[in-house]
Amino acid sequence: MANVELYTKDYCPFCRRAVALLTQKGVEFSNTDILDHPAQRDVMITRANGHSTVPQIFINDAHIGGCDDLFALEYQGKLDALLA
Query: What pLDDT tens digit does each residue of the chain (84 aa) get?
Result: 899 999 999 999 999 999 999 999 999 999 999 999 999 999 999 999 999 999 999 999 999 999 999 999 999 999 999 999
Contact between residue 68 and residue 58 where contact means Cβ atoms under 8 Å apart: no
Q: Which of 28, 26, 64 is nearest to 44 (CA)?
A: 64
Domains, in order of start, for the chain: 4-83 (3.40.30.10)
What does the pLDDT read at residue 17? 98
Give backbone dihedrals phi and psi of 59, rounded to 5 degrees, phi first.
-125, 120
Helix ranges (H only) for the chain are 13-24, 39-47, 67-75, 79-83
pLDDT of residue 1: 85
